[in-house]
């Protein structure tokens, strides 16, 4: 079974500052990892995903994430945030043993202040 822990429920940050949203996972098998973003009253949309290969993954809107197998982490980063990045961010894991069930973390609310 897989599980995901997002270490911060809320992250306030000033505009143009860097941000890191933390995600740790546990799994007995190899996994695929995802970050999704949810804007108010919307569904989730994919920011980026890690399947294999390079541990640094670049996504949309200037976000990137680094897969660290030894620390079982997949932290999301952006060097300079904008007001429009204010949203809820979800880390998710899918086990690669088939079934394609995706488990989501509880979410991190990013609040960008002017």
Partner 1 sequence: KAGVTQTPRYLIKTRGQQVTLSCSPISGHRSVSWYQQTPGQGLQFLFEYFSETQRNKGNFPGRFSGRQFSNSRSEMNVSTLELGDSALYLCASSFPGDGTEAFFGQGTRLTVV
- The footprint of partner 1 (CB under 8 A) covers 32, 34, 36, 41-46, 49, 51, 90, 94, 96, 99-107
Least Å from the CB of residue 77 to partner 1:
20
Measured between alpha carbons, how far is residue 76 from residues 41, 42, 55, 97, 99 in Å?
A: 23, 21, 12, 25, 26
Least Å from the CB of residue 24 to partner 1:
15
Query: Measured between alpha carbons, how far is 105 from 114 in angstroms, rounded to an integer?
Result: 28
Q: Which is nearer to partner 1, 14 or 39 (CB)?
A: 39
- Residues 19/78, Cβ–Cβ less than 8 Å: yes
Q: Which is nearer to partner 1, 45 or 84 (CB)?
A: 45
Least Å from the CB of residue 20 to partner 1:
20
Q: Which is nearer to partner 1, 70 or 100 (CB)?
A: 100
Would the CA dihedral through 9, 103, 53, 64 be positive or negative? Answer: negative
């Amino acid at each position: 079974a897989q599980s995901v822990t997002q270490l911060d429920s809320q992250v306030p940050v000033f505009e143009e500052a860097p941000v890191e949203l933390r995600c740790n996972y546990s799994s007995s098998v190899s996994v695929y990892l995802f970050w999704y973003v949810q804007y108010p009253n919307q569904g989730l949309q994919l920011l980026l995903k890690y399947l294999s290969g390079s541990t640094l993954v670049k996504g949309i809107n200037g976000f990137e994430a680094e897969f660290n197998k030894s620390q079982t982490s997949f932290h999301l980063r952006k060097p300079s945030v904008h007001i429009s990045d204010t949203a809820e961010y979800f880390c998710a894991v899918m086990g690669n043993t088939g079934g394609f069930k995706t488990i989501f973390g509880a979410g991190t609310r990013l609040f960008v202040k002017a």
